[in-house]
Chains A and B, each alone.
Chain A
């Protein structure tokens, strides 16, 4: 059901947004549907019958709403394309959305609502620290979860039903340091700055710092900041004073982008590596022309050469006029993995012959044993639910002449 604009505005006025609305699902508790028609879209097999329900629990509001909104777009594109391909062997896929907000309580409530609504699996939450709180609910209820952007250490180890399509930072981060050393082999002194109130950034910086030491470089300075900071003159003063040839920033788009910008404005001329939190085009308007040359470790590149990524990039581009960010691709992948696993499962045993508990458990097993051709490239999972991804990337930002737009250019 499409939300009437006036009703949507009223929802926007409420503190938490419209977390609950629209369609009554199997389990009794209401959850918001995406509003996408779960019907034949022409390209593939006709879809009909009872919808297969999957839950999306991401931060549509709060200070991390930007990430959540990117994830919602990915989920909606997945729903549209996968239904166009016939859904789950003819049955439509229907996504139920719950807003987690930016905190742990919101994530727990959203997960519980989706579990009660009878979803077969959940893609979410947005933040690692939310995952540590909310995933335990899904684990207790036996509902498979795929984290679209939870990269901190220990997420898949929460339980047997918990997996992720977002590669751990320990895999991605070292690649960027290697690339920086290729670009400037004279790098000896390194300064590191990270957002200490963000579990992901705090986790990522440890990997960066370990990599720096492993490479025999001098870790000259470690600076901390918060994701809510906009003024970094203190940190930049200290960093410039330590005379590094490489600065590594672990943060999110706004804070990380501002730090990069202020580093350049205050005269730092060396290489800068941005962590995975800066791997979004949202960083470009923040640091503007000063983004130029920034090295970014990536778990997703729009340049991945396979049919599903091409369709995904095209759909995203049609909708927004831009290239898709990583979290959008990972959320798309989360939905796709569930749907692909359900298709396989349905072929061995019809879904409607299983009760909900059995179906959730069988889906979890199917997810873990499959191999998937996704926008991230070919992926699979280890028995704990950790993603096994074949390729990672390091991109360098190239800004346009006016400094308003830019693009991520692969370096490896």
Chain B
């Protein structure tokens, strides 16, 4: 129902350095957009700018095509669910949900109908006369969502809505929110989280934000794309390291040869040669690069014969999670190399194992932190 467009948006407090820099962003109708980033990256600030709770220091914000910089929050057609839920403690569930409608002088029958409908969808019908203090965390969460729904906004804003819930409830509510989004297909959603599982499972589009020095150098936005784009085609080492758990392994290397079907590199610590399926057009032989390979893409193979496209490493620690085991392998870098192995694998500390690193699943980063473009595009 309402698209959101940010052009050159900046935010700074007083004379300090901007905390949000150069944000150009288009969020389409009916899109579920997640702002993801490390703490302190300004994702909540960006959300509050859309909500109208913070001014833009520079740039412009349009919602549904209309310039919103000077429009008050109430008139932007947005509704927000706060991290703390921000329910009014002296009002019943019904009064909380009806508050905005009552202020807008909506006829009583309409209020009753809309609140009743929202309560039905959120299974709050039996709780309408209760006060927030008599509700559980999950119920309060649903009331907060209900308060947003009854106003039929063009945009729903969620500020870390699940962070106050326990793990089980978080999983349930996540699914609930996804279901609600399907039901209210007309509205777009902006959702702030630091939890990449929430981001990956809910988002149509993830906006990953930089912090600190990266933000000063490259602006606030690190990458915008679908969850799988960010996973498979990170544009920088920051994005590659942020998405995925355990995080991607990074190994220093030099370009050894450039071919049409990829770039051959030699690892600095072991001298092993690997081919990475990226375009060598802008690389030179001998250039220092960083190889990135996700733990889940390191595939254990039978030890012995030295095969191409493999790494041989000694296991230093095993974290057994049951379903999977994380194998920590010796590496020259500051962090160990980690490989995911099936939970029933029988590796022991001290074993030397051989791993295959498929060329298409390896990433290459230049010294300035940017990714070298892959040869294959994503399906």
Partners in one complex: no
Interface of A with B (CB < 8 Å)? none
Interface of B with A (CB < 8 Å)? none
